[in-house]
Amino acid sequence: MRGGRVKNARLKAKPDSDIDYSDIPELGPEFLRAAKMLMPEAAQPVTMRLDRSVIDFFKRGGPGYQARINAVLRAYVDTVGKAGKR
């Protein structure tokens, strides 16, 4: 994860005038009219048992490992839910 932090620091230090925005389409009034504000779902604290290797894997990514576990579970729920499986 350290490489990502270094890259983010470099990008934050770069002035906006040095960034090429030419391949990003402009968001016009039509986009803004159709946009919907979505509030994040409130997280609920839970206690669960996970394999030690699973926890170690996510912890190696640094702080925020619980949020990453949640993101993986959210992606699974979204994917399986769209497929109509239970």
Structure confidence by residue, pLDDT tens digits, 8-66: 888 889 898 988 889 998 889 999 899 998 888 899 999 999 999 999 999 999 999 99
Query: Is the pLDDT score of 1 beyond 90?
Result: no
**Residue at 12: amino acid letter:** K
The first and second tokens of residue 51, run together, are 């394999």
Q: 58 near 65, Cβ under 8 Å?
A: yes
Q: 43 near 70, Cβ under 8 Å?
A: yes
Q: Enumerate residues 6+ apart whose C-beta is below 8 A from 65.
A: 55, 58, 59
Domain limits of the chain? Answer: 2-83
